[in-house]
Amino acid sequence: MIRVQRQKRAGLTGYLLLVTGLLVLGAVLMLLRLTVVTDYFYHALVKDPDRDVPAGRVVVAPADGTVLYVRKVKDGVIPEVVKHGVPVPLLDHLKQAPIQSLNDGYLIGIYMNTQGVHINRMPNNGVVKRQMIFNGPHMNMTGAEKNIILTQMIPGLVSVRKWLGLSPFGIEDAADYVLKSARETLTVEDERGARIYIVRIADYYVGKILTWVGVGDRVARGQKIGLISWGSQTDVFIEGTPGMVVTVKVGDYVYGGETVVATY
C-alpha cells in the first residue's frame, strides 16, 4: 500500500515536472519570439535610408509604398476612390476646406505596409500653407493590406483585374478608412504656384503621426516632413498645371523623396 502511494506521488511529481518544464519552455520561446518581433518592428519603424532626390521640374512620392489608385480629379470630384463607380468629393478626402478654389488635378494613393520605410518626404519645393488634423476614428486597414499583399504575389494580376474592369486590388469592402479614418492634411504651395495636398491617413494600429514642418516653413523636394509609426497610407493630390504629366500607375512601388510621380 505504501509502495503504491509512493508510486502515485512519484507519478504525480513527474507529471507536474513535465507540465512545469513545458510551461517554462513555452515562456522561453515566447520571450525569444517577443525579442525577435520587437527587434523586427524596431528596425522596421526606424528605417531611414538616404534618397537620391531628383532635380528638375518634377514631383516626387511623399511615401514608400504601393500605388493603389491614380485618379483624375475634375470639378472637385474623385471618381471611384473607394466604391467602384461612386464619385467622391475631394473635400471628403482632404477633410478640410481649401484655401482657395481647387483646380483639377490628380490624386495618388500610396499604401505603406508595415515592413516599409515610414518616413514621409516633401513632394516638391514650396511653402507650407496649412496643417489640418481630422480626429476621426482610427480604422483598421488589415483587411485591405491582406488583399494588396495577396494580389501582389500573383504576377500580372493587377493588369488582369484592370482589363476586366475590376478594382486593381479589390479593397472596396475593406477600404472605408480611405474616407473615414483620422488623418493629417498638409497644404503646400509649390514652386509652380499650384497646391499640393499631402494626406497622411492613420491606421487602427498607428501610434502617432509625427510632423516636423510647420505653417510658413519653406520646404525642399525630398525633405523629411514626418513619420507615421506603423503601416498606413499617404495620398497626394497634385493640382494640375499646363504640361503636367503623371508618371506612375496602379501597382507601382514608389520610394518617398525619390520616385517621380509627375513632371511639369
**In the chain, what percentage of residues exceed pLDDT 70?**
84
Tens-place pLDDT, residues 82-117: 665 677 888 888 988 776 778 899 999 999 877 778
Q: Is the dihedral of CA 253, 255, 258, 264 positive or negative?
A: positive
Question: Tell me, what's the pLDDT at 170?
Answer: 74
Question: Tell me, what's the pLDDT at 113?
Answer: 78
Lowest-pLDDT range, 137-151, 172-186, 216-230, 236-250? 137-151
Global pTM value: 0.77
Question: Tell me, what's the pLDDT at 32?
Answer: 54
User: How is domain 53-263 classified at the architecture level of CATH?
Assistant: Distorted Sandwich (2.70)
User: Which three cell numbers mark 175?
Assistant: 477600404
Lowest-pLDDT range, 9-13, 19-23, 48-52, 199-203? 9-13
Question: Tell me, what's the pLDDT at 153?
Answer: 77
* Residue 112: φ, ψ to 5°: -100, 115
Q: How far apart are alpha carbons 254 and 246 in whole angstroms?
A: 13
- Of 120 and 95, which is predicted with more confidence? 120
Of the pLDDT bands very low, low, confident and very high (cuts 50, 70, 90), residue 36 is: very low
Of the pLDDT bands very low, low, confident and very high (cuts 50, 70, 90), residue 127 is: very high
C-alpha angle 14/17/33, rounded to 5°?
A: 145
What's the whole-number mean pLDDT along residues 9-34? 71
Q: How far apart are alpha carbons 259 and 68 in whole angstroms?
A: 15
pLDDT at 37 over 50: no
Q: How far apart are alpha carbons 213 and 208 in whole angstroms?
A: 15
Using left for φ > 0, alpha for ψ between -120 and 50, and beta otherwise, residue 56 falls in: left
- Of 23 and 11, which is predicted with more confidence? 23
Q: How many residues in the chain? A: 264
* Residue 113: φ, ψ to 5°: -85, 170
